[in-house]
Structure 1
Amino acid sequence: MMKSYKFRLEPNKEQRVTLKATLDTCRHLYNNALASRKLQAELYRLPIAKQWTTVEEQIKALPLQKETNEYLPLVHSQVLQDVLRRVNKSFKNFFRHLKNHEKPGYPRFKSYTRYNSFTYPQTGFKIVGKKLKLSHIGNINLNFRL
């Protein structure tokens, strides 16, 4: 059984700016990864499922991208890896719908209003007292009353 808890974050102004920048960076990475896979499919004119770059290859390319993109190093590495896994999951869902003869929805590019969360899958976060400590962001006040 898995449990989840919801807490309201109460970031200060500086943390709000950092959180927004993190979301923007993740959204841009998502859209770039999606564009890369879409371009490969158009160039090869072969079934997309057999020709695109794998999520593992995209994750291995992140350190090189961090050298050329000034915003990527400001975000925790596992958060960036999770963004690439989201792209992979959206394509898997697309092909699952095709296989089951359901109406498929090709993965969409995410606008500002359609990308509103990021995930720390394993490390980079900790709850200390009444604060949530996020790597590269800082200690954010938590409101336990919802």
Structure 2
Amino acid sequence: MRTYKFRIYPKKHQVESMNFMLNLSRELYNAMLQQRIYALRSGRKVDYNSQQDELPELKKAFPECRNIHSLAIQDVAHRVDRTFDNFFRRVKEKKKGKNIKAGFPRFKSRDQYNSITYTQSGFRILDNGHIWLSKIGKIRMFMHRTITGDIRTLSIKRDTVGDWFVTITVEIPKEEFHSRY
């Protein structure tokens, strides 16, 4: 795997769309986290699959969710699942005697949720130094390197200053990886 990071320059309306997507994703993350916490306390089992199965109904109930690509919403459920998996792994390690903090999963504030991930589709890298994102459109990108390999994920990230970046993760052939390292 190899990761490329490029600066993007969205227009004002695109920044508004991406901020809206971030806020909605954060609210969804917090709602899924709340559902998991309630399930833990009541002894029920809520896992990634059950939360992912609820997403189509959620899109019907809340029309604003239609402004986010479906795979980006599924990634929110995946983040919550990873958070709990990591928490339970750390609890298990602590019981074995390792000196680590377990750190129960926390709700995310506006400043703590800064990225949206497209996993398989919903994006296209254009030849003219632009990137096309579903529900957002064509965004200018400063592509200072050529991307080699099969694209696996693409993340849009807002930094603390308000600049935007795209992170592209690619799978490179084993031959190229071994010859380089």
- TM-score, with length taken from structure 1: 0.91
**1:54 maps to which residue?**
47
Structure 1: stretches of 5+ with no match in the other structure = 45-50
Q: Distance in 2 between matches of 1:43 and 1:3?
A: 42
Q: Secondary structure at the match of 2:5?
A: coil
What do residues 45-68 of structure 1 show as CA deviations (whole Å, max 9, x unaligned)? xxxxxx331111111110100111
What is the aligned partner in structure 1 of residue 75 from structure 2?
82
Counterpart residue number, 1:43: 42
Alignment RMSD: 1.3
Structure 1 residue matching 2:20: 3-state secondary structure:
helix
- The TM-score normalised by the length of structure 2 is 0.74
Displaced runs of 4+ in structure 1, greater than 6 A? Answer: none
Report the AA paired with residue 123 of structure 2: F
In structure 1, the residue matched to 2:102 is: 104
Give 1:124's aligned amino acid. G
User: Residues of 2 paired with 1:23 and 1:3: CA distance?
Assistant: 25
> Match of 2:131?
132
Look up the match of 2:117.
Answer: 119
Structure possessing the higher radius of gyration over alpha carbons: 2
Q: In 2, Cα distance between the equivalents of 1:70 and 1:90?
A: 27
Shift of 1:42: 2.0
Corresponding residue SS for 1:106: coil
1:55-74 aligned within 5 A: 55-74=48-67
* One-letter amino acid of the counterpart of residue 22, structure 2: L
The Cα offsets for residues 85-117 of structure 1, whole Å up to 9 and x where unpaired, read as: 000000000000000013101111000000000
Structure 1 or 2: larger strand share?
2
In the alignment, the residues of structure 1 paired with residue 45 and residue 117 of structure 2 have an alpha-carbon distance, to the nearest angstrom, of 24
If each structure's helix is expressed as a fraction of its own residues, which one has the higher value?
1
| Residue identity in the other structure for 2:50 | E
Shift of residue 145, structure 1, vs aligned partner: 4.5
1:94, 1:13 → 2: CA distance?
38
2-structure distance, mates of 1:42, 1:6: 41
| Structure 2 unaligned spans of 5+ | 95-99, 146-181
Question: In structure 1, how many angstroms separate the alpha carbons of the residues matched to 2:140 and 2:83?
Answer: 33
Match of 1:22, as an amino acid? M
Aligned to 1:47: none
Letter paired with 1:138: G
The one-letter amino acid paired with 2:59 is K
